[in-house]
Structure 1
């Protein structure tokens, strides 16, 4: 754990999180005390990457969107330095070889016995619902044979909804589920059907923990308008 990360977490982030947001936590013991693991979480707020690691003893290395490392101007420089100092890994979400190279950095992190945080939805939920997962999480799980810990962040969308600069002091929660073991399917690591099955199992585990409504479309497609947001039950 880097000195900056440990100091910031121990003396600033964790105390502030406990004081201002009074987080409740269930299942923390499901996170391995040592060795690699994939922490696969729903994604409701940009602050998810702050709140969840603050409640764990071990450092979490997140696959963070590449835009956090390439922003313009002084603000972009500060953001880049912060993410680099906290050992976050840039994730290219454009697809193809660029995305595969980004996943390789996550795989290397797991090979080194670290905790890797990932949001299988690929981006924050635009409507509070749980969206279709991308298969990158399955590729990492099968290639590394690391356990996958499903996580539900609760109420962080009310603490810091999309468009809000600073989080509002409100209580939030998180639930860590039992680790999922996919080591028996490693020989099918290149089979798209198996990758989709593994991803869907992970998303179902997150859904059970979070209680969110699941919609079988990608969050990024809803955000971009490429596909309309599915109607909620009971609405026209």
Structure 2
């Protein structure tokens, strides 16, 4: 209930008013049954505009930290993230990661529509980065299609590092479903999972027109963080009584 209230009463009308979102290819989203919407990831706002424009409810896996904060502020966060269709996923270790994948498989087998960002994090510069194979593993185990989705303009409306949103026209383009039933029973095969993931990323590249970089975005961000020196503390100006004569 909260999801639909957020979408049609509270948040949705404001997003439509200020950003005028448009969507193409909506006919490629099945009316029923499980499926994965695999989207490029330009900004946090991707997770707001895609659910707004697709009639079916979309569930996004989100960091469990969003749901565990205590106090009144924590309660508001839980209500908000639940309201926009996100479910807590613990990714703190190998066992937790497997549990997260199992959760997504269960939701898909229950006929739900799942939103996934195969890059694993937001693009640091607007380019499309190498996809992670967890999406392929989930699709194979659940036996569902993967539908490529390209977001346009969300990085202009919600720039990385900015707490403000700026009016900017948003466009969403949904591609044709990719059927991987030919690989039935082959989940767990790393070669197959990589092949599926690369096929999805190629479809996203064609759909979005982004330049593709065969590197994980998270690795690039880590490398930049290491290469960027920490800011130096300001030097205290010399006092007259300490200047050597």
Structure 1 length-normalised TM:
0.89
Whole-angstrom distance in 2 between the partners of 1:53 and 1:149? 14
In the TM superposition, 1:196-235 aligns within 5 A as 196-225=194-223
Q: Is the 8 A contact 1:38 1:147 kept in 2?
A: yes
Counterpart of 1:178? 176
Q: Which moved more, 1:112-121 or 1:84-93?
A: 84-93
Q: Which moved more, 1:88-97 or 1:125-134?
A: 88-97
Shift of 1:18: 1.7
Please state whether the residue corresponding to 2:5 is helix, strand or coil: helix
In the TM superposition, 1:1-236 aligns within 5 A as 3-71=1-69, 74-94=72-92, 96-225=94-223
Whole-angstrom distance in 1 between the partners of 2:214 and 2:96? 25
When residues 129 and 7 of structure 1 are mapped into structure 2, their CA distance, relative to the original with a 3 A threshold, is same
- The superposition leaves residues 141-181 of structure 1 with CA deviations (integer Å, 9 ceiling, x where unpaired) of 10111111100000101110111113111111110000000
Which structure: larger Rg?
A: 2
Whole-angstrom distance in 1 between the partners of 2:137 and 2:95? 14
Whole-angstrom distance in 1 between the partners of 2:4 and 2:67? 21
Q: Which moved more, 1:80-89 or 1:45-54?
A: 80-89
Q: Is the 8 A contact 2:19 2:168 kept in 1?
A: yes
- Structure 2 unpaired stretches of 5+: 228-245
Q: Is the 8 A contact 1:13 1:54 kept in 2?
A: no
Number of equivalences? 227
Q: Is the 8 A contact 2:7 2:84 kept in 1?
A: no
Q: Is the 8 A contact 1:14 1:55 kept in 2?
A: no
Please state whether the residue corresponding to 2:59 is helix, strand or coil: strand
Structure 2 length-normalised TM:
0.86
Q: Is the 8 A contact 2:2 2:82 kept in 1?
A: no
- Structure 1 unpaired stretches of 5+: 230-236
Please state whether the residue corresponding to 2:11 is helix, strand or coil: helix
Alignment root-mean-square deviation, CA:
1.9
When residues 227 and 202 of structure 1 are mapped into structure 2, their CA distance, relative to the original with a 3 A threshold, is farther
Q: Is the 8 A contact 2:46 2:154 kept in 1?
A: yes
Q: Is the 8 A contact 1:48 1:153 kept in 2?
A: yes
Shift of 1:93: 3.8
Q: Is the 8 A contact 1:23 1:173 kept in 2?
A: yes
